[in-house]
Chain A
């Protein structure tokens, strides 16, 4: 069994295509985790100095009780409060290699599509790397929590967290289904041009769980541009503004300035709500709070009519 695992590891290194073919075997071989970029992590290894290159990863590490081992985060990290005192290695999208190496980490965690170039360099220093895909589906969150639990040895906490999240989300979903009416929802990312979320985003799922229905779930592109005519035609009951750091920093006032007097029903009825983008755009355990807030907004709307 052990030999077989080693052989598998070698082959994985040889080819990315093989990685997918072998993932079945890899699963039956518990001490190793494989990511999209071909990074391999020995789960039995105890990592004590972790650099997290994404706020969602940092939040999850803290949520499963591995926060004390985090020695580096990005400038975007703002939760939990403890991150203030942790060494900053640079921007989320472009962390600084010198600073990452200088905190002497034994493990660097990042996002596959953002950090692939950097990870290649970090590996040259003999530092373990592991990346997550955190942008397409809700399941990616559970997969990340599960993997982080295995990597940090806090598997029990991770499983508890997943269980708790699933339960809380199920609870909101049930209440969402029971709403008297389900609002048609439009999420605004930016006002000029009016931009929203496209088909591949998990946020439509977030809106659905909270009891709403996203009117842009059929659009191509990740952050499509949306015309005001289409918005009038789509006639959403509620317009959500992704505010704060997590979105692009759009505010309710700013969006209202752009949309008022154009005959948009949600605007005229005052159904425009700003939500903390960090709770929606970070696929972290706190997403359940974001869903809860959305549910409250939808509940209030359903009560109005």
Chain B
């Protein structure tokens, strides 16, 4: 068990190392020491932002999978990302360049509240209703986004690449804005790790165990979509990390959320840092959207793990 945890650590360190020295511009150690702006002002914030986004998406993935008791739950399920993307598009169409992050957050919260209002029944959130509402709102907002792009296209064409996920413009500003929210959410979620463990057995069981299910669900949903919105605002839509990471951690280290949450952060961050390194070196000087890398690399690996897992079960 400990050795497996160590493996995740090693992967993280490996990805960061690769990422620091692999890029579209070669930087020597000497240049780094003498304060190369390409390293300190572009590459480093980019790596940190990639880590944060990977960690955030994996964290919300872990929480949503537990809340919905559904292995397919992921940060995008609730339409949070589509809502964020619509918010970003509107802010650009209205030429409110300063408010991209804010609009992204408003868009994601709007879609979340919409989903919540549709699904809520007598103050409770039945899992199936929430999932269905999420799927419907996600489809609606994605179509709206497509329509906006088709009709008023030009202004949004600059976003096409960003929509597939890119850390190309990550700055210290992104890191500074995102980090406090990420840290706060992380500790909030870890504090609820026990509640999440109990809620895996169902709402009624959790109620009997003294968990205020309504309140906990609400605060977990809001905080996990908050970090997703911050991620989407800074780097677009990156799928698969949030879905795969928690599963890998569960297979390696078990389902206890006290372990699952921190290691999802480490693994998810490591995976996305590595994916970003690939995205900027595969076809350098051009870049492959990082969302494509996570999907291309993540899916086969996930299938392999699933099969291995089943075999050892039998």
Contact = CB atoms under 8 A, between A and B. Distances in A.
Nearest to A119: B169
Contact of B157 (A75, A89, A93, A136): A93
A99 B37 contact: no
A94 B285 contact: no
A75 B286 contact: yes
B158 A114 contact: yes
A125 B37 contact: yes
A200 B151 CA distance: 11
A96 B280 contact: yes
Given A94-B161, A101-B37, A113-B158, A75 B151 contact: no
B287 A121 contact: no
A26 to B, nearest CB: 18
A200 B150 CA distance: 13
Contacts of A75: 285-286
Nearest to B36: A102
B155 to A, nearest CB: 5
B161 A118 contact: no
Interface in B34-79: 37-38, 41-43
Given A91-B287, A113-B157, A98 B150 contact: no
B285 A113 contact: no
A181 B171 CA distance: 58
A135 interface: yes
B48 to A, nearest CB: 15
A223 B95 CA distance: 22
Given A114-B157, A118-B168, A125 B25 contact: no
B162 interface: yes
Most chain B beta-carbon contacts within 10 A, residue among A75, A116, A220: A116
Interface string B127-165: 000000000000000000000001101111110111000
* Size class of the contact patch on chain A: 20 to 34
A117 interface: yes
Interface of B, secondary structure class, is helix
Given A90-B287, A125-B37, A220-B151, A99 B158 contact: no
Contacts of B166: 94
A220 B151 CA distance: 7
A147 to B, nearest CB: 20
B42 A97 contact: yes
A136 B154 contact: yes
Contact of B171 (A101, A115, A121, A223): A121
A27 interface: no
B158 A93 contact: yes
Contacts of A135: 154
A122 B181 CA distance: 26
A221 B153 contact: yes
Contacts of A79: none
Most chain B beta-carbon contacts within 10 A, residue among A16, A96, A124: A96
Given A91-B287, A125-B37, A200 B168 contact: no
B97 interface: yes
Given A16-B95, A93-B161, A124 B286 contact: no
B219 interface: no
B285 A90 contact: yes
B285 A96 contact: yes
Interface of B: 23-25, 37-38, 41-43, 92, 95, 97, 150-151, 153-158, 160-162, 166, 168-169, 171, 280, 284-287
* For the complex of A and B, 7 pairs with smallest distance between CB atoms: A222-B153, A114-B158, A94-B161, A102-B25, A91-B286, A117-B169, A90-B285
9 contacts: A96-B286, A98-B42, A98-B43, A117-B162, A121-B169, A135-B154, A220-B151, A221-B151, A222-B153
Interface of A: 16, 37, 75, 88-91, 93-94, 96-99, 101-102, 113-118, 120-121, 124-125, 135-136, 200, 220-223
Given A93-B158, A125-B41, 13 more contacts: A75-B285, A90-B285, A93-B157, A96-B168, A96-B284, A96-B285, A97-B168, A113-B155, A117-B162, A121-B169, A124-B41, A221-B150, A222-B150
